[in-house]
Amino acid sequence: MTLASSSNHNAAAQGVLSQFAATGVQTCFHGRHINPQILADLDGRNWRLADYEARGGYQALRKILGQDGKPPRGSTGAPGMTPDQVIAEVKAGGLRGRGGAGFPTGLKWSFMPRQFPGQKYLVCNSDEGEPGTSKDRDIMQYNPHSVIEGMAIAAYAMGISVGYNYIHGEIFTTYERFQEALDEARAAGLIGNNILGSDFNFQLHAAHGFGAYICGEETALLESLEGKKGQPRFKPPFPASFGLYGKPTTINNTETFAAVPWLIRNGGQAYLECGKPNNGGTKIYSVSGDVELPGNYEVPMGTPFAKLLELAGGVKNAKEGRTLKAVIPGGSSSPVLPASIMMECTMDYDSIAKAGSMLGSGAVIVMDDTRCMVESLKRLSYFYMHESCGQCTPCREGTGWLWRMVDRIHNGHGRQSDLDLLNSVADNIQGRTICALGDAAAMPVRAMIKHYRHEFEALIQKNTSQAVAPQGATQATGRAAAQA
């Protein structure tokens, strides 16, 4: 990239930021977080190494390498922490992966075959394509060293010497920011060979992604990183045994890595106590939709949804009578929940799962009482149809069927049989595909029909009461019905 095009990118980014400011959209330095660990004390300018170190940055790395001169917590031995001690601390903290599934991070790290004689890789998933999610780009833009330090600690714990951060293809300025931070860390001896004078080596590289949603799926990401078409692989084998270039690989989300330095600095127990049992620490929620102050909010795991809504300024135009209708609590692939259920939930993996949805990536999409659920589902279904990589038939064909059916209901051409057909197509996608994109397309359909069936029926009845059935017409079924 030339200097000129780089400055064009920066100018474009400034334009976008000032547009956000003009519309009142918040990023992450609004001061309305609760006990933040990753987004604490950020102002948009203090992202450099010196700023990060002033906030306690790289102390965790120094601690595990024994540079703080202190033995590990609860021990009288030599300074520093062994890889096993680091993994045990992460397990004790109850840190769960922030990329969507909430898989326990310490457990994932323990799957890495540390004694494998060949190359092992560490990969950060900064693809962040889930509609509604915008936290990882803020972390990389405004606190990039937290990701670098978290990756270095993870690499030490798993005996890995090479890592990549795969950054979404459409956020070039963020890629440049991360690269600049990486250069600073390398120059300071925090990344590279013999880190801080120890025998620990870790080479970290920024990799530019290709802007496709499916490249966020971990095995599609690995394919893309290898320079191939970003299509998911069959699992097993899992990346821990067959990952990048066929070598053992651990993949975590950006926010997962960014959470690690605080956890190691303050200890697993302190991290766990910040959240609730089995859901340690804080979580960054990207709150969007019909709220007064959309933005990224970092709050302890287990914070009531009602509190999060209040931080985001409440439902937009509440004074004009708008009320909360529904919430998609964890990104577009998580099932919608009606207001009455959401207002009883706390924001953590277990509470949202118990309510019938998923915390996912933490993208909280708020919908007010004017939202048409058929229209909302139509937009979601279009997205999944568009993003399907096409490898498996149920997903490639089924996502198109779903969209076409919802589209015709929305356009007033729905049939009485469509709701059963929609559920049946969703059933035939879910659990029958190579990757979870198929599930992600099916789950919102079933949830929308479950909670808002009356809205679909109202549109269908409007159509059938207006329609004059042609003589001798028979009910089309299956693919013919879906494609009509």
CB nearer to ligand SF4: give 254 or 388. 388
Is residue 437 involved in binding ligand SF4 (CB under 6 A)?
yes
Kindly write out the interface string for residues 419-438 of this chain, putting x where it contacts ligand FMN by CB under 6 A and - elsewhere.
----------------xxx-
Give the C-alpha distances (Å, rounded to integers) separating 383 from 234, 285, 446: 23, 21, 16
Strand partners, 337: 327
Tokens 């009606």 locate to: 338
Shortest Å distance, C-beta 121 to ligand SF4: 22
Angle between helix 254-266 and 135-142 (nearest 10)? 60
CB nearer to ligand FMN: give 129 or 400. 129
Tokens 């963020």 locate to: 174
Select the residue interacting with ligand SF4 from 99, 209, 232, 314 (CB under 6 A): 232
Is residue 388 involved in binding ligand SF4 (CB under 6 A)?
yes
Is residue 435 involved in binding ligand SF4 (CB under 6 A)?
yes
Select the residue interacting with ligand FMN from 36, 57, 93, 216 (CB under 6 A): 216
Select the residue interacting with ligand SF4 from 392, 426, 447, 460 (CB under 6 A): 392
DSSP code per residue over 295-363: EEEEEETTEEHHHHHHHTTSBTTGGGT--EEEEEBTBTTSPPEEHHHHTT-EESHHHHHHTTS--TT-E
Binding partner of residue 195 among ligand SF4, ligand FMN, none, CB cut-off 5 to 8 Å per kind = none
Token pair of 165 as six digits? 């951060």
Angle between helix 144-158 and 172-187 (nearest 10)? 60
Is residue 214 involved in binding ligand SF4 (CB under 6 A)?
yes
Select the residue interacting with ligand FMN from 34, 40, 101, 270 (CB under 6 A): 101
CB nearer to ligand FMN: give 174 or 253. 253
Q: CA-CA distance, 432 to 94, in Å (whole number)?
A: 31
Three-state DSSP at 288 gives strand
Query: Which H/E stretch holds residue 155?
Result: helix 144-158
- Check: CB of residue 282 under 8 Å from CB of residue 36: yes
What are phi and psi for residue 377, nearest 5 degrees?
-65, -35
Percent helix, strand, coil in the chain (nearest 5)?
A: 45, 15, 40
CB nearer to ligand SF4: give 205 or 235. 235
Q: CA-CA distance, 474 to 457, in Å (whole number)?
A: 21
Is residue 127 involved in binding ligand FMN (CB under 6 A)?
yes
CB nearer to ligand FMN: give 26 or 134. 134
Considering only residues 22 to 81 of the shown chain, the ones binding ligand SF4 according to CB under 6 A are none
Q: CA-CA distance, 270 to 60, in Å (whole number)?
A: 14
Token pair of 9 as six digits? 């990118």
Residues 6+ apart with CB under 8 A from 315: 290, 291, 292, 309, 322, 323, 324, 366, 368
Is residue 434 involved in binding ligand SF4 (CB under 6 A)?
yes
Determine the size of the site formed for ligand SF4 (CB under 6 A). Answer: 14
Binding partner of residue 392 among ligand SF4, ligand FMN, none, CB cut-off 5 to 8 Å per kind = ligand SF4
Shortest Å distance, C-beta 210 to ligand FMN: 12
Binding partner of residue 128 among ligand FMN, ligand SF4, none, CB cut-off 5 to 8 Å per kind = ligand FMN
* Among the residue ranges 31-39, 89-97, 202-210, 391-399, the one whose residues contact ligand SF4 (CB under 6 A): 391-399
Is residue 132 involved in binding ligand FMN (CB under 6 A)?
no
Select the residue interacting with ligand FMN from 36, 129, 144, 444 (CB under 6 A): 129
Is residue 250 involved in binding ligand FMN (CB under 6 A)?
no
Three-state DSSP at 267 gives coil
Select the residue interacting with ligand SF4 from 26, 303, 332, 433 (CB under 6 A): 433
Q: CA-CA distance, 449 to 48, in Å (whole number)?
A: 48
> DSSP label at 364?
E
Q: Closest by alpha carbon to 126, among 171, 59, 185, 173?
A: 171
Is residue 125 involved in binding ligand FMN (CB under 6 A)?
yes
- Check: CB of residue 139 under 8 Å from CB of residue 146: yes
Q: CA-CA distance, 78 to 117, in Å (whole number)?
A: 27
What are phi and psi for residue 254, nearest 5 degrees?
-55, -50
**Cis check: omega of the bond before 237, within 30 degrees of 0:** yes
Shortest Å distance, C-beta 63 to ligand SF4: 41
Select the residue interacting with ligand FMN from 81, 214, 272, 448 (CB under 6 A): 214
Is residue 400 involved in binding ligand SF4 (CB under 6 A)?
no
CB nearer to ligand SF4: give 87 or 212. 212
CB nearer to ligand SF4: give 232 or 295. 232
Is residue 395 involved in binding ligand SF4 (CB under 6 A)?
yes
Residue nearest to ligand SF4 (CB): 395
Is residue 98 involved in binding ligand FMN (CB under 6 A)?
yes
Is residue 455 involved in binding ligand FMN (CB under 6 A)?
no
Residues at the contact surface with ligand SF4, assessed by CB under 6 A = 214, 232, 388-392, 395-396, 433-435, 437-438
Residues at the contact surface with ligand FMN, assessed by CB under 6 A = 97-101, 103, 108, 125, 127-130, 214, 216-218, 251-253, 256, 435-437, 440
